[in-house]
Copies of this chain bind each other. A is one copy, B any other.
Amino acid sequence: MTPSRPTDNSTPKRTKATVHDVAKRAGVSIATVSRALNTPDAVRPELREEVLKAAKALGYTTNSVGKALRRRRSQVIGTLLPRLADPLFSLVASGVQDALVEHDYVGFLEISGFDNRNLYTHAHKLIQKGAEGLIVFGRIDDDDLLDLVTKQNIPTLTVYSYLAASEIPMIGIDNYAATRQLTELLLDLGHTRIAMISGPLAGNDRQQSRTQAFQDCLHERGLEPLIEHVDVEHERANGAAALQRLISRRSDLTALLCNRDVIAFSAIAECRRMGLSVPDDLSLTGFDDVEYASLLDPPLTSLSVPAIEMGRHAATTIIRHLESGDAMHSACYDTEVILRRSTARPRPARRG
């Protein structure tokens, strides 16, 4: 088999075999070909064999575009993620992919960025390109997008966040409760001067819930919550800066909640740079329990979320809905605080 050169006309632009070609070769009608392939029982065995043989001989493989047009089903579902190069989001995407291949679907992946002003644009594009269903990371707060999917009746699911009242089903976790757990962990250890580094709140229900939980927790105990924000597009650089701002606002800080593991990664590195010992000088927690959280020095106390599982769940739910009309239900997954060595009791006060 000699590989064909760029301009190889020996194979005369060999256009792919269609159902007609197979039909002709097998001496049957195209309808029979289609039936032999899709509903084999509906065609006499001998004829079926004939068709299958012809199909194989011609290397026929059904053209999904034609099929999709006629069936009005593409077996494509689209996923919308804020970012791909991220240890959390890519995990969700993995879960989605897992489920998709299992059901012989294929996935459009689209990166929306954190600015959900263009969420609508991306979603629209995916639908227009033929996605039958949509999986969106985080709560959808864009009315236009909500309109789009309900009007056009596009099965849509969000993943990662769970909020009780939602027009569209959410497969996720309770960010509020989870953050309360983390905060209370620190409080129970005896910390009173606690801060949080959060991502931007605008259009981000996760960060909203988490800062809210943090504030509520501290207020309940009569403590003053301290929050700094990082620009999520440059979490690393800004995590360090945020930590510095916090320290300068309150130098006697003993504990810090980072609203994403990746923020904690840079915070822990910055602590090292500043000569702050974790957890002796500063207890640190992350969120998501991303793969490398346990490899840090010290290993990071974090909150584990079943990211892959949620992605998988979302995808199968949507597929089941598409295939069997099953209703899509929200689901709230349990989370778990993973206690590692980045948290400890506060160092006993030196003086008063």
Contact with B along A243-262 (1 / 0, CB 8 A): 00000000000000000000
Bound-state Cα–Cα, A75 to B128, Å? 12
Asked if A97 is at the interface of the complex by the 8 Å CB criterion, the answer is yes
Q: CB < 8 Å: which of B14, B97, B296 contacts A109? A: B97
Contact with B along A1-24 (1 / 0, CB 8 A): 101101000010110100000000
Contact of A97 with B75 at beta-carbon distance under 8 Å, contacts A3-B146, A61-B124, A108-B107 already known: no
Contact with B along A282-307 (1 / 0, CB 8 A): 00000000011011110000000000
Q: CB < 8 Å: which of B87, B97, B265 contacts A110? A: B97
Bound-state Cα–Cα, A91 to B147, Å? 33
Bound-state Cα–Cα, A229 to B256, Å? 39
Asked if A344 is at the interface of the complex by the 8 Å CB criterion, the answer is no
Contact of A85 with B291 at beta-carbon distance under 8 Å, contacts A14-B151, A68-B65 already known: yes
Q: How far apart are A349's CB and chain B's nearest CB, in angstroms?
A: 28
Asked if A52 is at the interface of the complex by the 8 Å CB criterion, the answer is no
Bound-state Cα–Cα, A151 to B226, Å? 63
Q: How far apart are A250's CB and chain B's nearest CB, in angstroms?
A: 24
Asked if A86 is at the interface of the complex by the 8 Å CB criterion, the answer is yes
Which range contains the number of A residues in contact with the other chain? 35 or more
Q: CB < 8 Å: which of B129, B291, B295 contacts A76? A: B129
Instruction: Check A74 against B65 for contact (C-beta < 8 Å).
Output: yes
Which residues of B are found within 8 Å of A94, using beta-carbon distances? 83-85, 111
Which residues of B are found within 8 Å of A167, using beta-carbon distances? 3
Instruction: Check A86 against B75 for contact (C-beta < 8 Å).
Output: no
Q: CB < 8 Å: which of B104, B108, B146, B268 contacts A106? A: B108
Instruction: Check B295 against A236 for contact (C-beta < 8 Å).
Output: yes
Interface residues of A in 60-118 (CB under 8 A from B): 61-66, 68-69, 74-76, 83-87, 90-91, 93-94, 97-98, 101, 104, 106-111
Instruction: Check A11 against B151 for contact (C-beta < 8 Å).
Output: yes
Q: How far apart are A163's CB and chain B's nearest CB, in angstroms?
A: 15
Q: CB < 8 Å: which of B86, B104, B327 contacts A6? A: B327
Which residues of B are found within 8 Å of A129, using beta-carbon distances? 64, 75-76, 106
**Counting chain B CB atoms within 10 Å of each CB, which of A75, A84, A146 scores highest?**
A84
A-B contact pairs, 19 of them (CB 8 A): A1-B143, A4-B150, A13-B153, A14-B153, A63-B128, A65-B74, A84-B90, A84-B97, A85-B87, A85-B291, A106-B129, A107-B110, A236-B295, A265-B295, A266-B295, A272-B297, A292-B292, A296-B297, A297-B297
A-B pairs with the 7 shortest C-beta distances?
A109-B109, A269-B295, A90-B90, A85-B90, A84-B94, A85-B94, A64-B129
